[in-house]
Amino acid sequence: MGRTFACSDLHGMYELYKKVCDFLQPDDTVYFLGDAIDRGPDSWGLFKEIINNPQWIFLKGNHEDMFANAIKEYYCNDERPGDAWYLSEYNGGGHTLADWMADGAYKDWVGVIDELPDLKTYYNNIGDAILLSHAGFTPNAFGVLDITNRELIWNRSHFNDTWADGNDDIYIIHGHTPVALI
């Protein structure tokens, strides 16, 4: 049985992805917690590589969400950019959108992105539940999740929340929000 890792927010850093892949053993698994695209030099190539790598389980991040919304709006506006397109560009997605257009696969990718999960549960070898998402969240009593899909990819308001009793064996791993120290 292989090892299990989590990784998030590579943002087009293909060379960093390759270093992670070089570190992995053939039976290892990586939960990728979203944001393969935007900002970095090879966002679109990295996105396609992670999607097609069977060792990597791709969860949707807010940048994939913005990108999919931009594509949908583009087709609803007779192939003209609109607000979602400009939001994606403003958040570092200009090169991603350009590379997507040059790729020629257009609408095919909307369904792929829409089907990405926004929450996965992994159980470690002692039975602890490890919840994985792009953005963090706080479980309520007994681990019941009262959270929307949007919060799972956009939330940043959970850091000072108090966890309800009964959640001692639940762990949450996420990306999205840079922190100085862990």
Most confident of 23-32, 71-80, 99-108, 173-182: 23-32
pLDDT level of residue 99 (50, 70, 90 thresholds): very high
| Helix ranges (DSSP H) in 10-82 | 14-23, 43-51, 62-76
pLDDT score of 144: 54
- Minimal CA–CA distance to 46: which of 107, 95, 108, 117? 95
CA distance 9 to 175: 7
DSSP 3-state of 64 = helix
- Taking only the tens place, the pLDDT of each residue in 106-123 is 677 889 999 999 999 999
What integer pLDDT is reported at residue 142 of this predicted model? Answer: 47
Q: What is the pTM of this model?
A: 0.91
Stronger pLDDT, 181 or 5, i.e. the higher one: 5
Give the containing element (helix H, strand E) for 96. Answer: helix 94-103
In this predicted model, what pLDDT tens digit does every residue of 35-76 receive, in sequence order? 999 999 999 999 999 999 999 999 999 999 999 999 999 988
Using the CB atoms, write b or e for 84-123: b if 16+ within 10 Å. Answer: bbeebbeebbbbbbebbeeeeeeeebbeebeebebbeebe
CA distance 65 to 120: 17
Q: Coil, strand or helix: which one is 143?
A: helix
The pLDDT score that the predictor gives to residue 155 is 86
pLDDT at 158: 75
Q: How confident is the model at residue 179 (pLDDT cuts 50, 70, 90)?
A: confident
How do residues 119-167 score in pLDDT, each as one tens digit?
A: 999 999 988 889 999 998 877 644 556 677 888 899 887 777 776 676 6
Give 20 or 101, the one with higher predicted confidence.
Answer: 20
From the list 4, 112, 97, 98, the residue with the least C-alpha distance to 48 is: 112
